[in-house]
Structure 1
C-alpha cells in the first residue's frame, strides 16, 4: 500500500504531542529537582554549618561568661570554697576547648564554605582567649598566694575589659552566623518563590500546549477518518457483511480520509463483484461450449490415433521389405565384389601367361637360331667329311681308316642335320602354336579386362543400390519414428483432451462456486432492480447503527 512519505503519521503526531507534554513535564521535574536540591543544600548548610558554628559560639559565650563570674567569685569566697571555684573554672575551660576543637576543624574543612568575616571573628576570639587565659591564672595564683587585693586589681583592671572584649568577639561571631543564616534562609525562600512562579507558568504552558496538541490531533484524526469513528466502523462492518450498496455523505473536497477511501473501496468492490459475477456466468457458458468441443476433438483424436496405428503397421511391413532388399543388395554387392576380385586375379594370371608365352616365343626363336647354327655346322661337317673321303680315296690303302672315320663323321653330320631339321620343324610348329597361344592369351586378357570392368560397374551399381536401399531404409525408419512420435503426440493430445475436459469441468464447478461466493455480496437493497447503484448523494442508503463493541 502506497502512502505519502512526507505526511506525518498518526503515531508520529500523537508521539510528538505527548512527547512535548512529557518533555515539559520532564523539564519541570528536572527544574523541580534542581530547585529542591538548591533549597535542600541551603537548608543543609544552615542546619549543618551555620547553626553548628553558632552553637559552638554560643558554647564559647556561656563558658566565657560563667568563667568571668567564677573568676569574680575567686576574689569574694573564702579559702574553704576556693577549691570548688577553681575546679569550676577548669571545667568551664574544658567545655570551651570541647567546642573549640570541632569549630577549628569546621573552619579548616575545605568543603565547608567560610566567609572572611567569620574567619576574622574567629581570629579575634582566639586573640581574646590568648590575652585573657594568662590573666585568669594570675588572679588564681594571687588569690592562692594570699594577695587578695592584687587579685582584685588584676580582676578589675585587666581581666574585666578582656572578658568584655572576649564576649563581644564571641557575640560578633554569633551575630555573623545569624546574619548568614538569615541570608541563606532568605535565598531559599526567594528560590522557592521563584520556583513556585516558574512551576505555575510551566504548568499553565503545559496545559495550553496540551490543549493545542489535543485540538490539533483531534482535528487531524477527524479529518483523517472523514467521519466519527462509529460511522467508519459501521461502514466497515457493512462491507464485512457484504452490503456494498451503502452510501455516505462526505465532507466537501474530502478525497483522502479513511471514510472516503473506505467508501471508494466499497464502490470499487461493488463494481468488481458485478464484473466477477458476469465473468463467472460467461466462464460457465464458455466452459460448457469447450466441454462439448473437447468431446468432438476427443472423438477425432481417437480416429486419428487408429489411422496412425494402421499406417505404422504398414510402414513396419515396408520397413521389413526394404531391409530385406538392402540385405540382398549387400549380398549381391559382396558377390560382385568377390567376382570382381576373381576376375582381376584372372586378368593378372592371363597377363602373366601372355608374358610367359612371349618369353617362350623368344626362347623358341633363339633355339631356332641355334638349330640353324647346328645345321650349318652339320653341313660344313658333311662337306669336310666328303672332302676327307675324297682325300682318303686318293690316298688309297693308307687312307682307308681315315675314310671310315670320314664316313662316320659324314653319317653323323647327316643325322645331326636331319635331327636339326626335325627339331627346327618341331620348333617352327611350336612357334606357330606359341604365336597362336599368345594371340589367344592376349585376347583372353582383353576379355578378362572387359569382364573386370563390367564386374566393377555391376559392383558399383549394386553398391549404389545398397546405398540407396540403406538410405531408403533409414528414411523409412525416420518415417516410422515420425509416425511413432505422431502416435505418441496423438495419445498425449487425447490425454490432454481428457485432462482439458476434466479441467473444464473443474472450471465450470469453480465458476459456479465463484458465482455462489459472489452472491454473498449484496449489490442492491432487497426489492431494487439489478442495475449497479451509482455514487449516491448524502442521505442515500444510510448506514445502519454501529454494532456494540
Structure 2
C-alpha cells in the first residue's frame, strides 16, 4: 500500500484508466461477440427461414393463381380473353418456378433434407403432369383433355403438393425457433457478463474515489484553504496536517511548493513594504524639489520675459541707429559730392583769377605805354611851347595849343599814374585773391578727402549697425526661444510635480495595500 501511495498521481490515474479501459474493452468485446452472433442468427433467420417461407408463399400463391385462371376458362367469351388468360397462366407458372428455384438454393439442415426432396417431387409431379399439360391442352383447344386434367388430376396433385409442404414448413419454423432460443441464451450470457464487469467497474470506481479523495482531493482542499488565507492577506499561518511528509507524488510536491511560495511571498511582501516606505520618502523629497524647481523656473521665466522686453527695446534702438547711420552715410555721400563740385568751382575760380591777374598785367603794360606817350606828348608840348615862344606873336596860338596839349598830357599822365596805381593795387589784390583761392582749393580738397573719409566711416558704421541689429535680432530670437523653452520647462516641472504627487499617492496606496498582508516577524 505504501508503494502505491509512493507512486505519482499520473501513474495511479494511468493504472485506473487502464483498468477501466480493460473492463470497457471486455464489455465491448462481449457486446460485439454477442451482437455478431445475434446478427448471424438474424441473417440465417432471414436468409434461411423468412426468405425461404416468403419464396414458398410466392410459389404456392402463383401456382394457385394459375389453377384459378384455368378454372375461369368456362367464363371466357372471346379469343382475346382466352389468349390473355393463357398468357397470365404462363406468367404465374414461370414466377412460381423462379421462386422455387431460389428456395432450392437456400441452405437447409440435413434433418430437413428428406421433407425438401418430398415436397420438390410432389411439386414437380403437379406442375409437369397436371398444370402445364392442362394449359397446353387449352392452347391446343383440346377441351376434353383439359377438362379431364382440370377436374381430376390438377386438384389431386395440388393437394398432394400442399400436403408435402406442411412438414417442410413445420421443419423451417422449428429450425427458426431453435436459432431464436440459441440467440436468447447467448444474449442472457452477455447480459450476465456485462453486468458483472459493470459491477466490478462500479466497485473499483468507489475504491478509486476513496483512494484519490484521500491522496489527491484532501491535499488539494488544504492547498485551496491555504491559497484563500493568502488571498485574504494571511501569510503568517503555516500549513497544518503535513500528511504528505515522506511522499514523492504530485500532491506532496504541490504542498511543498505552496509552503515555499508562502515563504517567498513573505520575503517579497517585506521587501515591498521596505521599498514602498523608501519610495514614499523619496517621492516626498522629489515633490518638494519639484515645487522649489517650479518656483525657480517661474522666476527665471519672468526674468527672461523682462530680458526679452529689454532686448526688443534695444533692437528697436539699434534699428533706429542703423537707420540714422544709413541716412548720415547718404548725407555724407551727398556732402562729398558737393565738396568735390565746390573744389571744381574753386579750381575754376583760381583759373579765372589767374586770367584776371594776367589781364591786369597787360593793362599795366598798356598804361605804361600810355604814360610813355603822355610823357613824350608833354615833352613835345614843351618843345612846341619853346618853339612858340621863340616864334613870338605868330606862335602864340600854337603855344596855347601846346599848353593845352601839355596840360592834357599831364592830366593823362596823372590819370595813367592813378590807373597804374589802381591796376597795381588790383593786381596785388588779385594775386592775394589767387593765393587765397589756391589755399581755398587746397582746403576744399582736404575737405573732400575728409568728407570721403567720413563717408567711408559712416558706411562702416552703417554696416556695423546693420550687423549689430542682425546680431541683436538673433539674440532677441534666442532669448524668445529661451523664454519659450523656459515656459515649457516650467510646464514640464509642473507636470513632474503632479507626477511626483501622483507617485506619492500611489506609494501610499501601495503601502496601504501591502499593509493588508500579515507576515512573520523575524
Q: TM-score, normalised by structure 2?
A: 0.53
Contact 1:308–1:487 (CA<8 Å) still a contact in 2?
Answer: no
Q: Distance in 2 between matches of 1:487 and 1:250?
A: 68
Tell me the SS of whatever aligns to 1:227.
helix
Change (3 A) 1:272 1:176: same
The CA deviation string for residues 262-303 of structure 1, in whole angstroms up to 9 with x for no partner, is 55135313431443145325523552464257446635753x
In the alignment, which residue of structure 2 is the partner of 1:279? 272
Written as runs of structure 1 = structure 2, the 5 A alignment for 1:319-358 is 319=311, 322-343=314-335, 345-346=337-338, 349=341
Change (3 A) 1:105 1:493: same
The CA deviation string for residues 355-391 of structure 1, in whole angstroms up to 9 with x for no partner, is 9899999xx9xxx9xxxxxxxxxxxxxxxxxxxxxxx
Structure 1 position 232, deviation (Å): 1.9
Written as runs of structure 1 = structure 2, the 5 A alignment for 1:71-150 is 105=95, 107-109=97-99, 113-115=103-105, 120-121=120-121, 122-129=123-130
The CA deviation string for residues 438-490 of structure 1, in whole angstroms up to 9 with x for no partner, is 99769746742552243122221342144224413532552464256446535
Written as runs of structure 1 = structure 2, the 5 A alignment for 1:184-333 is 199=190, 203=194, 222=212, 227-242=215-230, 244=235, 245-247=238-240, 248-250=242-244, 252=246, 254=248, 257-258=250-251, 260-261=253-254, 263-284=256-277, 286-288=279-281, 290-291=283-284, 294-295=287-288, 298-299=291-292, 302=295, 304-305=296-297, 308=300, 311-312=303-304, 315-316=307-308, 318-319=310-311, 322-333=314-325
The CA deviation string for residues 132-189 of structure 1, in whole angstroms up to 9 with x for no partner, is 979xxxxxx99xxxxxxxx9xxxxxxx99x9999887766655555555555555666
Tell me the SS of whatever aligns to 1:517.
coil
Change (3 A) 1:107 1:191: farther
Contact 1:330–1:466 (CA<8 Å) still a contact in 2?
Answer: yes
Change (3 A) 1:195 1:128: farther
2:481 aligned with 1:509, yes or no?
no
Q: Distance in 1 between matches of 2:125 and 2:350?
A: 176
Q: Distance in 2 between matches of 1:296 and 1:338?
A: 59
Q: Distance in 1 between matches of 2:197 and 2:348?
A: 144
Structure 1 position 254, deviation (Å): 2.6
Contact 1:226–1:259 (CA<8 Å) still a contact in 2?
Answer: no
Change (3 A) 1:133 1:339: closer
Contact 2:59–2:96 (CA<8 Å) still a contact in 1?
Answer: no
Change (3 A) 1:251 1:190: farther
Greater helix percent: which structure?
2
Change (3 A) 1:183 1:354: farther
In the alignment, which residue of structure 2 is the partner of 1:398? none
In the alignment, which residue of structure 1 is the partner of 2:493? 493
Which range moved further: 490-499 or 320-329? 490-499
Contact 1:287–1:508 (CA<8 Å) still a contact in 2?
Answer: yes
Contact 2:308–2:480 (CA<8 Å) still a contact in 1?
Answer: yes
The CA deviation string for residues 100-157 of structure 1, in whole angstroms up to 9 with x for no partner, is 99897455349964439679533233224259979xxxxxx99xxxxxxxx9xxxxxx
Contact 2:326–2:458 (CA<8 Å) still a contact in 1?
Answer: no
Structure 1 position 18, deviation (Å): 7.3
Change (3 A) 1:340 1:178: same
Contact 2:60–2:96 (CA<8 Å) still a contact in 1?
Answer: no
The CA deviation string for residues 17-57 of structure 1, in whole angstroms up to 9 with x for no partner, is 87887777677666656554543454456665545677899
Structure 1 position 338, deviation (Å): 1.2
Q: Which runs of 5+ in 1 are unaligned?
A: 1-6, 61-98, 135-140, 143-150, 152-158, 369-428, 525-529, 532-549
In the alignment, which residue of structure 1 is the partner of 2:41? 39
Q: Distance in 2 between matches of 1:435 and 1:10?
A: 143
Change (3 A) 1:56 1:348: closer
The CA deviation string for residues 191-232 of structure 1, in whole angstroms up to 9 with x for no partner, is 6666766x479738965995899699879x94xx89241342
Contact 1:333–1:462 (CA<8 Å) still a contact in 2?
Answer: yes
Change (3 A) 1:185 1:326: same
Q: Distance in 1 between matches of 2:512 and 2:102?
A: 92
Contact 1:336–1:458 (CA<8 Å) still a contact in 2?
Answer: yes
Q: Which runs of 5+ in 2 are unaligned?
A: 1-8, 63-88, 107-115, 136-143, 360-428
Q: Distance in 2 between matches of 1:56 and 1:440?
A: 168
Tell me the SS of whatever aligns to 2:215.
coil
Structure 1 position 240, deviation (Å): 0.7
Change (3 A) 1:458 1:187: same
Structure 1 position 342, deviation (Å): 0.9
The CA deviation string for residues 496-536 of structure 1, in whole angstroms up to 9 with x for no partner, is 346524642x24531442243213xxx56xxxxx34xxxxx
Change (3 A) 1:241 1:458: same
Q: TM-score, normalised by structure 1?
A: 0.51
Written as runs of structure 1 = structure 2, the 5 A alignment for 1:361-376 is none
